[in-house]
Amino acid sequence: MKISKPTILVIVGISGDLSKRKLLPATDEIFRAGELPEKFKVIGVTRRDIAMQGVELYKMDLEILEEYKKLARHLDSVEKDWGTPAQRLFYLSVPPQVSQSIVRQLGQSGLAKVPDTKLLLEKPFGFDLQSAKDLIDDINKYFTEEQVYRIDHYLAKEMTQNLIIFRQSNSLFKRTWNKDFIERIEIVASEQIGIEGRATFYEQTGALRDLVQSHLLQLAALTLMKIPPSVSNGVVDSNGGADNSWWKNIPDERLRALEQLHLLSEEKIIDCVKRGQYKNYREEVKNPQSTVETFVSLQLESGSPDWQGVPITLTTGKALDKKMTEIRIFYKKAEHHESNQLTLRIQPKEGIEICLWTKKPGYDRTLEKHPLNFSYEDHYASLPEAYERVLVDAMHSDHSLFTSSGEVLRSWEIIAPIQEFWKKGGGSDLTFY
């Protein structure tokens, strides 16, 4: 559905890697798809002189309040030229230490209060429960929750959205999506890359904060949440448009799922959490004592009556043999029946696979396991990038694929016992790979 509102997208941190690799290509794609409003402008805020196509560069010092007031006047003049007010999206593509002060100055300069102003933020949202609370309180002083769009790009991946639709629309799986039929769940995100030169960031972060607190807990929430009831199938309404009212319930359901999720044993962390570090990590970050984990695997369970007793394992690591994110659902083995495994491939080769038991051809009556496979690539030339969805949804004021402050806080709460344990432990449980 084409965006109709005139829109100014202000990217703060336009010279950064994310803008070049994801945001600007995403706006190009949305334009090519014919979805951008007629009146649309990208303003790239920067301190440096850089050349960039299709973007109006706006040089300013982000530490000076007066400069924000000048920016406000500039945005007013764009709207005046257009002869209409526009929605303004401030996309902060900057390190977390900087974003807090920018938020404050957007507030103090009056920019936050201009009608139809939105704030798009990248993770990390804090580094533990307390810092996340402080950050949220700080933002709440200037912006309402409705104005804030916290990005978790995993939620916007095509296959992640399909997980919701798959659960909603296939009665075979819908009816068996619970502890009576499912034995355990594994969510794995393995990466081949290391820390890619981000030594300072990674030394303060580690795999638990970087991937588990955000992406993996969100995937777990989507796997475990109750699917909101709906009269339609949740994809299109009777007018052929997106059924947004149904999607609007998704963040609340994710939050409820997170509220019920906890570590398998908060007392014996050592039994349910394993961590590791890849071999030349310490040299890479120039810290021979570093105990920062580049791999972590943890076991959780849900207190929901639908899921009691089903172990949920989250695993992620860098410098592993391949790049792959999957949700694996292991069905129970019943008497005289084999178990089945359903795999939702988030990336790469996005798709769904279920293993079936069949008779091996021949005179013997032996069983064989074969996959039944759906791959998007067999049907579509390409899939939209997550950042296209992020921008389109923010322009449509659709929060369903963004993380609420409640979800952020609950995710930190879930991993807090691990952070505490590691702080005290001194790293003796760290293994090297």
Q: What is the distance between the alpha carbons of residues 358 and 343, in angstroms, rounded to a whole number? A: 18
Q: How many CA atoms lie within 13 A of 115 on its CB side?
A: 6
Between 153 and 389, whose beta carbon lies closer to ligand BG6?
Answer: 153
CA atoms of 349 and 276, how far apart (whole Å): 27
Its sign, for the CA torsion 213, 214, 215, 217, is positive
Query: Which residues here bind ligand BG6, judged by CB under 6 A?
Result: 153, 191, 210
Nearer to ligand BG6, 88 or 209 (CB): 209
CB of 200 to ligand BG6, least distance (A): 13
Return the exposure string of 88-118: e unless at least 16 CB atoms fall within 10 Å of the residue's CB, then b. bbbbbbbebeebeebbbbbbebebbebeebb
Q: Which is nearer to ligand BG6, 29 or 237 (CB)?
A: 29
Comparing CA positions, the residue from 318, 303, 202 lying closest to residue 261 is 303
Count Cβ atoms within 10 A of the Cβ of residue 26 and give its class: 0-12 exposed, 13-18 middle, 19 or more buried: buried
Shortest approach of ligand BG6 to residue 195 CB, angstroms? 7
Of 95 and 427, CB closest to ligand BG6? 95
Q: How far is CA 27 from CA 15, 345, 380, 394, in A?
A: 16, 26, 21, 13
* Least distance between ligand BG6 and beta carbon 262 (Å): 23
Is 332 in contact with 326 (CB distance < 8 Å)?
no
Q: How far apart are CA 371 and CA 396, in angstroms?
A: 39
> Between the CA of residue 12 and those of 46, 57, 296, 318, what are the distances in Å?
7, 10, 33, 29
Among residues 208 and 329, whose Cβ is nearest to ligand BG6?
208
Residues annotated as catalytic (active site), given as ranges: 215
The count of residues in the chain is 433
Q: How far is the CB of 58 from ligand BG6 (least distance, A)?
A: 27
